[in-house]
Amino acid sequence: MPRRPTRTVPTVIVHGINGSPADHWQRWLATELSAAEREVRFPELPNPDAPDLVEWKAALATSLADLQDDGFDVVAHSLGAALWLHHAVETADSPRPARVALVALPASSVLVDVAPSFTPIPLDIDSIRRAADGTVLVGGDDDPYCPGGIARVYGAPLKMAVTVIPGGGHLNVDAGYGPWPAVLDWCGRDNLAFIA
């Protein structure tokens, strides 16, 4: 049986607070995609230890500026996923990705002290749906940064597909997510579903 062609569009990777350490799955993903000769954009967002929404939105917009509508994917983790929701609601003229995976979105209540400019995280269904051809949420069922769980906090109000990973925590290095084949597999397929 012939192998299915692998997706080749550019991937924009958006890190969270404190950047993305060398052993984080986002760094691993960037290396794997680059090794497969895929275009990767991994903007270093300013002041990652003291994030400011205005600065982060400007850096993200710069990274997206010359991409083609429906011709790229976005994979965002934690505060980077919250950044994407703000971008989607507040930036109408930005290039539109084909697919977006928002991983380990933190609850607004958790961000009040660490990233207050990001609160509240917008939940405008129409704007978020217009911002991409498809968006999927991915989160651990025990994420300490999303009390109540990603399905209830984000999936239900946004009426959006959710992949819940048992024992996944915040899907970061502390939870054991260095190399993460599931996210690489998602980047290589054309459909939206995230298979954990």
**Structure confidence by residue, pLDDT tens digits, 34-64:** 999 999 999 999 999 999 999 999 999 999 9
- Write down the pLDDT at residue 75: 98
- If you ran DSSP here, which 8-state letter would residue 139 be given? E
**pLDDT tens digit string along 68-121?**
999 999 999 999 999 999 999 998 789 999 999 999 999 999 999 999 999 999
In the chain, pLDDT over 70 holds for what percent of residues? 97
Identify the band that residue 5 occupies on the pLDDT scale cut at 50, 70 and 90. Answer: low
- If you ran DSSP here, which 8-state letter would residue 65 be given? T
**Inter-residue contact 73 to 11 (CB < 8 Å):** yes
Tokens of 58: 């400007």
- Write down the pLDDT at residue 1: 38
The residue ranges of DSSP E strands in 52-177, in sequence order, are 73-77, 99-103, 134-140, 161-165
pLDDT for residue 4 is more than 60: no
CA of 191: how far to CAs of 7, 108, 136, in Å? 10, 29, 11
Which domains does the chain show, CATH number per domain?
11-188 (3.40.50.1820)
- pTM, whole model, 2 decimals? 0.96
**Inter-residue contact 93 to 50 (CB < 8 Å):** no
First to last CA, the chain: 25
Tokens of 193: 């579903």
- Write down the pLDDT at residue 20: 87
Count Cα neighbours of 36 within 13 Å in the Cβ-side half-sphere: 18
Q: What is the mean pLDDT of the chain?
A: 94
| Between 20 and 25, residue with greater pLDDT | 25
pLDDT for residue 133 is more than 50: yes
β-pairing, 134-140 vs 161-165, is: parallel
